[in-house]
Every structure is written in C-alpha cells, then in structure tokens.
Amino acid sequence: AQSVTQLGSHVSVSEGALVLLRCNYSSSVPPYLFWYVQYPNQGLQLLLKYTSAATLVKGINGFEAEFKKSETSFHLTKPSAHMSDAAEYFCAVHNFGNEKLTFGTGTRLTIIP
Amino acid sequence: SQTIHQWPATLVQPVGSPLSLECTVEGTSNPNLYWYRQAAGRGLQLLFYSVGIGQISSEVPQNLSASRPQDRQFILSSKKLLLSDSGFYLCAWKDPTNEKLFFGSGTQLSVL
C-alpha cells in the first residue's frame, strides 16, 4: 500500500530564509507525487507534481521539489520565504491506474517577519 | 475552462440531522469525482470516488453516502449526522489526461 510521511507538522522560517518541507513516500511501483497548498479558509491548490519525467520539478510561486528514488523523498523547497507563503502544505502520492490519492498529514508553514 | 463549485462554504448542523453537500463541475465531460474530508489535526482522507454516473466507490465505512445523479454532479449525504462527522469536506475532480486533481473551496461542517 502506498503512504506518505511528512516530517514536521509545524515549520517556522524567517522571511527571506530557505523553506524546506519534507516528504517521504512508500510505494510498490513508481508513483506520481504532488504537493498541494491550502491557504486559510480556501481549498487546496496544486503547487507541483512529479509524473516520472524530470526529477527536479518547478511549481508555482517559486517552489520546487526533487524526486529522489534512492531516498524515497520528494522534499519541497523555496530559496527565499515570503510572508504570503504561510499556509498548510500537503504531500500526496498516487499510483498510476489507481484512483486513490493518499495525502500526508500536512505541514503548517509559519513565516516570521 | 473548467471550474468546480462546492456549497455551502460553512454549515452548522445538530446531531441527528440530515446532510447534503453538493459539488458540480463545469467545462469537462465524464470527470472522475472525489469527496475528501480533513478532520482537525489530521490529513486528508478519501471518502468516496466516482468514475461515472451511478458508480460510487467507498473508501471508508462510515455514516456518510455519496451519489452521482448526473455526469458533473456529486453529492455527499447523511441521514443522521454524528459529532465525529465534523470536519472540512473537499470535492475534487481529476483530469484523466494529466492526472491533475482540482479541488473545490471546501465546506466547513460543524456538528453540534
């Protein structure tokens, strides 16, 4: 069965500092991997996705993630945090041919002025 | 372009009352449709998904049911709400050509 683990339910970074949100997956076959963001009182938005093409994926708002098969990881990064990045971030895994999208428990990102 | 509508945005219901949350999609045909729930302090949980009219798959046995009376309409229901049904409910549809999942704005349900 596929699963996703997000390390750190809360992460705080200073404005302008590097953002690193961790995600490790477990899957018996090469997965599709996603990062979603949920701003306060809004639905989820897709940040970026990996579907077996380039291992370094660039998304919206300056975020990117790198698929590392050897580490079964798909960590989300942004070089310089902005106040507007404060939100809840979800990593998700989806196996091709399966309708399930399994989400992690989420990481709440706080930006310190 | 495709859009997804979900309503209401917030709902407060007493224990034992019925529930009906509606979700509609525009601009696409035969989408895969999903209902997710996010309980406080926990991750998203898939409740139901549908690959076509009248076809419902349930992921978790519970107090809720889903129906798809039309191609682009997905309804989440309950005959009698429980306190544990409180949470944030998200409807979503998937574009089968690129595996992207698009979410509605969600419904915050409080059962009191």
Instruction: Name the residue facing A99 among B49, B102, B104 (closest C-beta).
Output: B49
| Cβ within 8 Å, pair B105-A43 | yes
Instruction: Please indicate if any CB of chain B lies within 8 Å of the CB of A106.
Output: yes
| Cβ within 8 Å, pair B101-A45 | no
Q: Give the per-residue pLDDT at B40.
A: 58
Q: What is the pLDDT of residues B53-71, one digit of tens each?
A: 999 988 776 789 999 999 9
**Closest residue of chain A to B103, computed from CA coordinates:** A44
Read off the tokens for B83: 């306190």
3-state DSSP assignment of residue A35: strand
Show residues of chain B in contact with A42, CB under 8 Å. Answer: 105-106
| Cβ within 8 Å, pair A43-B32 | no
Instruction: Name the residue facing A94 among B43, B59, B99 (closest C-beta).
Output: B99
Chain A to chain B, count of Cβ pairs less than 8 Å apart?
Answer: 50
Q: What is the pLDDT of residues A42-63, one digit of tens each?
A: 667 889 988 877 889 999 999 9
Q: What is the pLDDT of residues A52-95, one digit of tens each?
A: 778 899 999 999 999 998 999 999 999 999 999 999 899 988 76
Task: Please state whether beta strands A32-38 and A87-94 pair in parallel, antiparallel, or not at all (unpaired).
Answer: antiparallel
Instruction: Name the residue facing B46 among A44, A90, A100 (closest C-beta).
Output: A100
Phi-psi region of B92 (alpha: psi -120 to 50; beta: other; left: phi over 0): beta
If one compares B36 and A41, the residue with the highest pLDDT of the two is B36
